[in-house]
Chains A and B, each alone.
Chain A
Amino acid sequence: MHMADALLSPAVGGAMWVATAGTIFYCSKKVKEDLDDRKIPLMGVLGAFIFAAQMINFTIPATGSSGHLGGGLLLAILLGPHAAFLTIASVLMVQALFFADGGLLALGCNVFNLGVFPCFIAYPFIYKPIAGINPTPLRITIGATLGAVIGLQLGAAGVVLQTVSSGISELPFNAFISVMLPIHLAIGLVEGLVTAAVVSFIWKSRPELLELTADTRPLGDISLTKVIGALGVAAVITGGALSWFASSSPDGLEWSMFKVSGHEELEAPEKGIHHTLAVLQEKTSFLPDYSFKAGDPEAEGLAETGSWPAVDSGTTISGLVGGVMTLALALSIGFLFRKRSKTA
């Protein structure tokens, strides 16, 4: 599932972008150091393969819904983690640009969710130890299925965290994650089975291709500490960026602090279901609602930044009138251009 720009705050989106870009630089360096120039065409063509294979839908047995190949783990198995990460990033970039899956800002999140987990967690720590150096179809199946499931669960959790900490959507963490995880458990199972089948197929028909392509070096290549370290760095960057944004807009910070503390001044409706939900959200969203800029309430349009629950009818009406006028202007511009291009 692809994260969308519309649900992201710039702080979260930006932090994920930085983390992703950093990983891309790191992996590019690694692949270059690898000095295996076979990998360059291989990455390109396998990326195209994933792209094409994803475009064919199949029915998932007993559910009637349709699925498609995920690809992250498959690429890691065929290319090794670093090259695979770059390839996934490329596939997602093409999808973002041509099919508007996600968006420019969300690209960081999507690459992170669909790339880091399969390549740097699922592959080295799950698939590889299980499949081993001399894989058998059974080992491949177990490893691939488990790897895909766990990779996707982490990815889904990533989507939830990013959405919730962006605070554009009101979905509470608990509710959201309790929907996302089971759905992605099913998807992960399917993806794992397909990955396993495809890898076994290659392994049976042309074993030398797997040897050729796979990162033959054992686990030592990427150590647990390194991965945890990298993720830690990403987290620190995220947190740092967040607090930077937060401190640069004290109003927003103040606002969310008030919200967390449930301060009286805010006069939030603290009764009934809203209250419980609000409390639930406070409890569960460990990254509270940071807002990017709420500095100048006048400029923001008081009603919309909603320094809660100020219902200033004056500002609201002028906002409405102005908004309608902007819309009308937009439409007429479009219309004018159309006319001109027709007469031209």
Chain B
Amino acid sequence: MAKIDTAFFDLTKLEEMANNDTVIHRIDPRVKVLVASIFVLCVVSFHKYTISAILPFGLFLIIVINLAEIPTPFLLKKIVLVSPFAIMVGIFNPWFDQQPIMVLGAITITGGWVSFVSILLRFCLCVGAVLVLIASTGFNTICFAMVKLGMPKIFAVQLLMLYRYIFVLLEEGLRMYQAMTLRTFDGRAIAMRIYMHLAGQLLLRTLDRAQRIHLAMLCRGFDGNIRVCQTLRMAKLDLFFFAVCFAILLLMRCYNIPAMFGRLITGIT
């Protein structure tokens, strides 16, 4: 079936999760956006051969996922779905970088394999972080948070509008796609020639719709400025949460905790 069905599903599913009410959901969205950004920045800032030092970040993520009660199978499925590009690019590392990095008995592990695993790890963590952010916050709230963090308002307004009409247009597109499929019989994706007509038709309707929406806005006193009464209140608890997360992330970034831990256990220095 077409991607368009799944897109609809993903959007509604994530939006639904965002309507939950957990500790993580209640945190101020600005804090969440910032923590997610710092998280990603920390993860990607490790050297390319790093594996063990990144693992604690996974731990952090798993704790947040569970606190936010986000279903793990769903997340895993999404991560796998988008992995091809990272894997495709990363898979060349073992080939180009055959520098031995460690020897475990008879097996020599090359730098390429280590950095490949590292890429996959980073990938899962970064994608995970984004999905957790959206699933625990919701798109509109993220937008408001970004405005508070300095995003231009006009950008935010059309972003909100885009999000609002994605649902309408996906449905419209889906129905056109259904109508077309029902008169084709070989079950393959649609021909490019047909697609052009489909897209043109949809665009025409979209442009007309834009005019009607503009009219609707004008009728209600729209003058180029969008005013929204949305109040975000940063509570002490939010600041505390931010401080704690920041400290933890920094700690994990600066110290290779697993290695330290391992040294402690094995007694090797």
Contacts and interface: CB of A to CB of B under 8 A. Distances in A.
Direct contact between A and B judged by beta carbons closer than 8 A:
yes
Interface of A: 1-2, 4-10, 13-14, 24-25, 28-29, 31-32, 35, 37-38, 40-49, 51-53, 55-61, 66-67, 69, 78, 86-87, 89-91, 93-94, 96-101, 103-105, 163, 167-172, 176, 190, 193-194, 197-198, 201-202, 205-206, 209, 213, 268-269, 274, 277, 281, 291-294, 296, 299-301, 303-306, 308-309, 311, 313-323, 325-327, 329-330, 333-334, 337-338, 341
Contacts of A300: 47, 50, 53, 256
User: Nearest 4 pairs between A and B by C-beta?
Assistant: A44-B161, A322-B258, A322-B262, A201-B200
Contacts of A291: 47-48
Contacts of B200: 197-198, 201-202, 205
A46 to B, nearest CB: 6
A201 B204 contact: yes
Given A103-B130, A304-B49, A306-B49, 16 more contacts: A41-B161, A47-B159, A51-B7, A52-B4, A55-B173, A56-B195, A60-B192, A90-B155, A296-B254, A311-B101, A318-B263, A319-B52, A319-B259, A322-B259, A323-B259, A333-B66
Contacts of B164: 44, 48
Contacts of A14: 41
Contact of A40 (B55, B154, B254): B154
Interface string B54-79: 01101100110110010010000011
B198 interface: yes
A143 B69 CA distance: 51
B24 interface: no
Given A5-B44, A326-B56, A314 B269 contact: yes
Given A103-B126, A330-B58, A304 B10 contact: no
Interface of B: 2-4, 7, 10-11, 14, 36-37, 40-41, 43-53, 55-56, 58-59, 62-63, 65-66, 69, 72, 78-79, 81-82, 85-86, 89-90, 92-93, 95-103, 111-112, 114-115, 118-120, 122-123, 126-127, 129-131, 133-134, 139, 142, 151-155, 157-166, 168-170, 172-173, 177, 188-192, 194-204, 206-207, 209-211, 213-214, 217, 222-224, 226, 254-263, 265-266, 268-269
9 contacts: A46-B206, A56-B177, A61-B192, A94-B139, A98-B11, A197-B196, A274-B99, A306-B111, A326-B52
Contact of A105 (B44, B63, B112): B44
A105 B161 contact: no
Contact of B103 (A98, A311, A326): A311
Given A5-B122, A94-B163, A198-B199, A172 B127 contact: no
Contact of A56 (B3, B58, B134): B3
A277 B99 CA distance: 12
B191 A105 contact: no
A301 B50 contact: yes
A49 B102 contact: no
A2 B83 CA distance: 11
B210 A42 contact: yes
B222 A4 contact: no
B192 A59 contact: yes
A330 B161 contact: no
